[in-house]
Amino acid sequence: MPNASVGSGSILEEFGRAVWDEAGFVADSREWGLYEVLEPDGTLKMVTFDAEIAQERRDVEFISYGSQALLALQEKVRCWGKTDTTLIMPEALQVPGDLNDKIRSLAHLAKCRPQEVRETRFGWGASVLFRFHVTYQTADMIEELLDVLIDLSTLADITTLLGPLDRAPVAGWDDRVPPLSLLPIHTADEAYWRAVTVASARIQTRRLTIAKDYGTQQADELAQSQHYYETTLRGLERQLQTAADDTRRARVRQKILATQAEWAHRQEDIQRAYTVTCEVVLDQARLFWTPTLRVFAHALQRTDVRPIHFDWYPWARTWAPAVCSKCHEAASTLYYGAAGWHCGCQVESAG
């Protein structure tokens, strides 16, 4: 029996190439059976579907049925849905004026002298747009798309900058882009979980709004069923009073009990129908590479120098929010702690 995992042109190879296309991987076949693959998160690796090549080349990852590499590939596609990478290049990279004033207005550093700029440097920052498909189920089905934009450097929620990002000029990889170094970034997984946290809070708010919107409709339905069952029960009570004999009375009593049980069921059904449940699926993720001005500053805490940095987005002509390094939420006052600047959410007190 031929081994389908061996040799170029196998079913597995076709599958792999289709998956790369779908997931936004850039795959280049350098030589027969050998691929250089650039993943959306920036990982670059050499892979092959050919067992012989895999034996000859130890630096090449072998993808075969059941291999870790294939499982990882499937997992990535499952987790990320459709992915896509975009390079943003604003017309000009200019350093804004009055830097000291600007960075002081971004965050107050507790127990420190006002921060001062030491150095500025442009680098490549990145952000990921996560598009979730959310289905709310109540008396009706409501389908919505939920966008969350996460800065990969700080894990800040910068969804409000989606407009400027959409309007920013897109560059091709071969365009004359300045050779900027890469700013330190978090992994795609960390960004994903951060996006899930941000999305969950928004979905919870939306659920409450939907529940409120349908509250009147639900109250109407409950009132209608109440009217119906009360009328029915009153009729049965009259029948009970005017019943000719015991057999007839017993039958009516049974009917009353059955009607009461039915009413209770109907109430439960209405409550259940109006409970807002929801299902969330990641529909697609887009990675944006964006030039970012990193402003390195420091602040004096008594005689200790505390370094801090702030980011300016030239493509949005705005500053990145100052965020807590622990919970990644935006904060206007930051405290210096063992793990860096935080919003007050860290257990240990400000030093």
- Helices and strands in the chain: count of H runs, count of E runs: 8, 15
Q: How many angstroms separate the CA atoms of 214 and 219, rounded?
A: 9
User: Which stretch, 18-26, 63-71, 102-110, 339-347, contacts Zn ion (CB under 5 A)?
Assistant: 339-347
Residue 66 CA, distance from chain mean position: 29
Q: Does 198 bind Zn ion (CB under 5 A)?
A: no
Q: 215-241 vs 188-213: helix axis angle to the nearest 10?
A: 50
Q: Tell the smallest beta-carbon distance from residue 30 to Zn ion (Å).
A: 46
Under 8 Å between Cβ of 128 and 149: yes
Q: Tell the smallest beta-carbon distance from residue 112 to Zn ion (Å).
A: 17
Q: Tell the smallest beta-carbon distance from residue 320 to Zn ion (Å).
A: 16
Under 8 Å between Cβ of 283 and 117: no
User: Which stretch, 46-54, 137-145, 228-236, 340-348, contacts Zn ion (CB under 5 A)?
Assistant: 340-348
With CB under 5 A as the rule, give the number of residues binding Zn ion.
5
Phi, psi at 311, each rounded to 5°: -115, 140
Q: Tell the smallest beta-carbon distance from residue 296 to Zn ion (Å).
A: 22
User: Which stretch, 43-51, 215-223, 315-323, 343-351, contacts Zn ion (CB under 5 A)?
Assistant: 343-351
The candidate with the shortest Cα–Cα distance to 340, out of 319, 326, 321, 328, is 326
Q: How many angstroms separate the CA atoms of 102 and 331, rounded?
A: 15
Q: How many angstroms separate the CA atoms of 67 and 50, rounded?
A: 13
CB of 318 or CB of 325, closer to Zn ion: 325
CB of 278 or CB of 350, closer to Zn ion: 350
Q: Tell the smallest beta-carbon distance from residue 268 to Zn ion (Å).
A: 42
The tokens for 108 are: 């107050």
Q: How many angstroms separate the CA atoms of 327 and 346, rounded?
A: 9
Residue 277 CA, distance from chain mean position: 19
Under 8 Å between Cβ of 58 and 48: no
Q: Tell the smallest beta-carbon distance from residue 200 to Zn ion (Å).
A: 17
The tokens for 269 are: 């059904």
Write down the residue that tokens 């449940």 correspond to.
277
CB of 294 or CB of 342, closer to Zn ion: 342
Q: Tell the smallest beta-carbon distance from residue 346 to Zn ion (Å).
A: 7
CB of 193 or CB of 229, closer to Zn ion: 193
User: Which stretch, 117-125, 214-222, 314-322, 325-333, contacts Zn ion (CB under 5 A)?
Assistant: 325-333
Q: How many angstroms separate the CA atoms of 87 and 108, rounded?
A: 33
Among 257, 345, 348, 351, binds Zn ion (CB under 5 A): 345
The tokens for 349 are: 């007190």
Under 8 Å between Cβ of 53 and 33: yes
Among 197, 326, 340, 350, binds Zn ion (CB under 5 A): 326
Among 117, 327, 330, 350, binds Zn ion (CB under 5 A): 327
Q: Tell the smallest beta-carbon distance from residue 196 to Zn ion (Å).
A: 17
User: Which stretch, 12-20, 197-205, 291-299, 319-327, contacts Zn ion (CB under 5 A)?
Assistant: 319-327
Q: Does 129 bind Zn ion (CB under 5 A)?
A: no
Among 47, 324, 336, 337, binds Zn ion (CB under 5 A): 324
Q: Does 330 bind Zn ion (CB under 5 A)?
A: no
Q: Tell the smallest beta-carbon distance from residue 323 to Zn ion (Å).
A: 8
CB of 298 or CB of 328, closer to Zn ion: 328
Considering only residues 28 to 57 of the shown chain, the ones binding Zn ion according to CB under 5 A are none
| Amino acid identity for residue 19 in this structure | V
What residues make contact with Zn ion under the rule CB under 5 A? Answer: 324, 326-327, 343, 345
